[in-house]
Structure 1
Amino acid sequence: MSARRAPEGAPGPRLSRGASGLRHLRWAREVLATLEAHVAHNPALGDADREALRGEARALAASVQALSGAVKPYRDFLERTRVHYRGRVRVAEHLLRESGADEAARARLDEARSALAGMEAAQRRPLKASLSEEIDRLREAMARMDARIAERLSAAFVEGLYPPLTDGASRVADDGDPDDDATASPSRGG
Structure 2
Amino acid sequence: MSARPAPGAAPERILSREASGLRHLRWAREVQATLEAHVDHNPALADADREALRGEARALAAAVQALSGAVKPYRDFLERTRVRYRGRVRVAEHLVRASGAEGAARAHLEAALSELAAMEATQRRPLKEALSAEIDRLRERMAHMDARVAERLSAAFIESLYPPLTAGASRVADDGDPDDDATASPR
TM-score bin, normalised by smaller chain: over 0.9
CA distance in 1, matches of 2:115, 2:12: 44
**Map 1:10-159 → 2, pairs under 5 A:** 10=10, 12-159=12-159
Q: Following TM superposition, by how much is the alpha carbon of 1:183 offset from its aligned partner in structure 2, in angstroms?
A: 2.5
Contact 1:12 1:162 in 2 (8 A): no
Counterpart of 2:8, as a letter, is P
The alignment partner of 1:43 has SS state of coil
Q: Following TM superposition, by how much is the alpha carbon of 1:156 offset from its aligned partner in structure 2, in angstroms?
A: 1.1
CA distance in 2, matches of 1:103, 1:62: 55
Contact 1:3 1:13 in 2 (8 A): no
CA distance in 2, matches of 1:100, 1:164: 51
CA distance in 2, matches of 1:12, 1:94: 44
Counterpart of 1:65, as a letter, is Q
CA distance in 2, matches of 1:165, 1:104: 50
The alignment partner of 2:3 has SS state of coil
Counterpart of 1:7, as a letter, is G
CA distance in 1, matches of 2:106, 2:162: 52
Structure with more helix by fraction: 2
Counterpart of 1:52, as a letter, is A
Query: C-alpha deviations, 1:75-120, integer Å up to 9, x for none?
Result: 0000000000000000001111111211010000000000000000
The alignment partner of 2:177 has SS state of coil
CA distance in 2, matches of 1:42, 1:150: 17
CA distance in 1, matches of 2:140, 2:105: 50
Q: Following TM superposition, by how much is the alpha carbon of 1:71 offset from its aligned partner in structure 2, in angstroms?
A: 0.4
Aligned pairs, number: 186
CA distance in 2, matches of 1:128, 1:152: 36
CA distance in 2, matches of 1:46, 1:107: 71
Q: CA RMSD in A?
A: 1.3
CA distance in 2, matches of 1:7, 1:38: 19
Q: Following TM superposition, by how much is the alpha carbon of 1:11 offset from its aligned partner in structure 2, in angstroms?
A: 5.8
Aligned partner of 2:5 in structure 1 is: 4
Which consecutive unaligned segments of at least 5 residues does structure 2 have?
A: none
Contact 1:70 1:134 in 2 (8 A): yes
Q: Following TM superposition, by how much is the alpha carbon of 1:154 offset from its aligned partner in structure 2, in angstroms?
A: 1.3
TM-score, length basis structure 1:
0.94
Q: Following TM superposition, by how much is the alpha carbon of 1:185 offset from its aligned partner in structure 2, in angstroms?
A: 1.7
Identity of aligned residues (%): 80
Which consecutive unaligned segments of at least 5 residues does structure 1 have?
A: none
